[in-house]
Copies of this chain bind each other. A is one copy, B any other.
Amino acid sequence: DCLSESTQERCPVNFPVAVVLPAAGSGERTGLSTPKQFCRILGRPLISYTIHAFERVCWIDNIVVVVAKESHDMMADILHKYNHTKVKIVEGGPTRHRSIFNGLLAFSEPGVGPKLQKPKVVIIHDAVRPFLEEDFLLKITLAAKEQGASGAVRPLVSTVVAATTGGCLDYSLERAKYRASETPQAFIYDIIYQAYQQCSEAEFQFGTECLDLALQHCGTRAQLIEGPPTLWKVTHKQDLASAEAVIKESLSQSACIISGECTETQNLSIWMKNCLTAAGMRVDAIPNTERSMTLSASRNVIKLSVNSSDFVEIREMMKRCEESKDFLLYPVIILWVFLNVSDQVSLRQENDEASTIMNLAEEAKKINIFLYCVQLRYSKVSTEWERTVNRLCQLTMALIRDRNAAFTGQMLQA
């Protein structure tokens, strides 16, 4: 799971490890005005997801992000807003290789501010590949420590062809013999540093592969390690939608139902739990919010109420969420389900309630909580009741999977 927190167990790495993230590119290929590393996914810039993937790993000490001069302030704001504390910003160069070298220099040259500890192994990674798992980072890091260099590879998706000068097919490569070189790549710091120091101007400008530089200048043959498909790179505009879908899916795996104390909502809770579980969700049901419960741990909370609404508990949840440091990392959903067991509600009261909820949802949105409401009416006719509960579960899953900020504060009907 790309969003899980790193374990607090014994650290598997006993040497210093740092990361360089080149992010100075302009990302023409997305066809967007914002460089893709700064495009927002669920409100948060893509690069913050990538940073978080490294930052949560206990054995990674420092992360250097290399950005264009004009992006420095925006990057600083991102670090502050999302509480990224292991990160230092370095100014990029005119090419990717210059930028990476600038990043490496942050560990060795006396600069402004506190100097970073020189790592034994440095990981170089594209800022636009946000989905990284700790175990793969560990593989890459240990291989680099042993062999001097390592890099992720993936099978080729297309056949690679060479063209004649006339633009015709010259020959095609035997697909099985080749791999696509991806990132992360890792190096013993001294090796990649030395390779860059010996780089020619032409290599700085046109070279594409760090692995190749280590081979050419230091005779280090990188170990190639088959990476998971999740390493894929946000290259084109439509890839942002993919990344969003991957993140939304990982946020939709589980939910927590707060059933309340009364029989009606506790029964509804059992129905919902069965229905959502059958659809593949992990569901916990508890009678009341616990003091220890953090909303950022259970990212989808379903609160069941009968008739009149209890705003105190919702405000309490919001407060606890705001107190946690990482509330801005992922939007949390509170789905408030109103079970009407009678129809003695006057229109005026409903209108008042609707606008109170709308205002509360506006407040919640500011702290990255999406509050939605669903109303349903209890029916003694079992087929009708079953249909209503099914519709409630359909809406629940759609709201959780969709995480659409535009529908917060709405009162839907199941």
Chain A residues at the B interface, C-beta cutoff of 8 Å: 29, 147, 149, 151, 153-154, 156-164, 167-173, 175-182, 206, 208-209, 211-212, 215, 221-225, 229, 232-233, 235-236, 238-239, 241-246, 345-347, 350, 354, 358, 394-395, 397-398, 402, 404, 406-407, 409-413
Query: Chain A interface secondary structure, helix, strand, loop or mixed?
Result: mixed
Q: Are A181 and B168 touching (Cβ within 8 A)?
A: no
Given contacts A413-B410, A413-B411, contact A160 B181 (CB under 8 A): yes
Q: Are A394 and B406 touching (Cβ within 8 A)?
A: yes
Question: Per a CB cutoff under 8 Å, which of B172, B181, B206, B395 touches A158?
Answer: B181
Sampled A-B contacts (24; CB under 8 Å) = A29-B229, A153-B161, A158-B180, A158-B181, A159-B181, A160-B179, A160-B180, A160-B181, A161-B181, A162-B177, A164-B221, A167-B225, A168-B224, A169-B212, A173-B178, A176-B206, A238-B242, A238-B245, A241-B245, A242-B245, A346-B347, A347-B347, A398-B406, A402-B402
Residue of A170, A208, A358 with most chain B CB atoms under a 10 A cut-off:
A208
Given A160-B179, A163-B179, A407-B407; 9 other pairs, CB 8 A cutoff:
A159-B181, A161-B211, A162-B179, A164-B221, A169-B221, A241-B245, A398-B406, A398-B407, A402-B402
A246 partner residues in chain B, CB cutoff 8 A: 238, 241
Q: Are B394 and A398 touching (Cβ within 8 A)?
A: no
Q: Are A167 and B223 touching (Cβ within 8 A)?
A: yes
Shortest distance between the CB of A200 and any CB in chain B (Å)? 15
Shortest distance between the CB of A207 and any CB in chain B (Å)? 10
Shortest distance between the CB of A226 and any CB in chain B (Å)? 9
